[in-house]
Amino acid sequence: MTFSQLHERLRLEMWRRIQRGVVTGKLLAAQTGLRPSHISNFLHRKRKLSLAALDRLLAAQQITIQELAGFPPEGDDQPDGNTADTLRIPLIVQTAAVALPLIPARSIQSYIALPSAELDRFAPHYSTGRRSWERFIAVRVTGDQATAMEPLLQELSIVIVDRHYNSLVPFAPPHPNLYALRVGNRLLLRYVTFDSDRLLLCPHRLDFPLEAMEIPPNDLPSDLLIGRVCLCISEV
């Protein structure tokens, strides 16, 4: 395989991820330090990336040369990073989930590998400002967060949050959406509805109180929604 073929494979892989909603051109530019116009030219075959720029892109998207060429990494039969069949979702500290569009390496605790097809079925529904955010993140549920949502959520379970879904439109009506939302600098997990300039935070447990959350003057309801919980991984 030639360098030109590897370059084209990387370009096609980036287009695939953009179409899936995992990444955007602006996000790639922010991750690599390259200009958005440079990324756009690369994606549209108007310009090739330098070797240094290719290294930055591979590192930012956690792709190895072996994966790009179709070879498994040494000592393993399956690739560790994102492939056509698998995506690695960063398991992060909750403070990063609340406020950071791009997740820095220091906030990543580990990765959760999921089949790409499992995430492809989740359509985004976001406000304009969310296009540049890293889409899927994972957080570990604390005991306090699990209490109101038992038995749906359990302490130490892991939830996958789609941060490109911060709309109150139901994903699969009549079932309510479960959201990770921002309350001050904390992350809360609740069903959410909108009523008279307030968000109503609804628990899963019938014996747990309903809470009303006032929307700050300069915020929209979507600003307080970190994202929709689309998957939960629990021990049984």
The rounded distance, in Å, linking the Cα atoms of 96 and 163 is 12
Indicate whether this model's pTM tops 0.75.
Answer: no
pLDDT score at 132: 78
Q: Which of 16, 14, 19 is nearest to 29 (CA)?
A: 14
Residues 217, 138: Cα–Cα separation, whole Å = 30
CB-based contacts of 14, cutoff 8 Å, min separation 6: 23, 28, 42, 43, 57, 61
**Hey, where are the domains in the chain?**
1-77, 85-236
The pLDDT value given to residue 145: 94
85-236 topology per CATH: Umud Fragment, subunit A (2.10.109)
Reduced to 3 states (helix: H, G, I; strand: E, B; else coil), residue 211 is strand
Q: How far apart are CA 20 and CA 120, in angstroms?
A: 6
User: Can you name the residues that pair with 162 across neighbouring β-strands?
Assistant: 136, 228
Report which DSSP code applies to 43.
H
Mean pLDDT by 10 residues, the chain (236 residues): 79 81 84 91 90 88 74 45 75 87 83 89 85 90 95 94 94 94 91 91 95 88 93 86
CATH code of the domain made up of 1-77: 1.10.260.40
**Quick check: 85 and 66 in contact, CB under 8 A?**
no
What are the residues facing 142 on neighbouring strands? none
> Residue ranges of the alpha helices (H) in the chain?
3-20, 25-32, 36-43, 51-60, 65-69, 94-99, 116-120, 143-147, 221-224
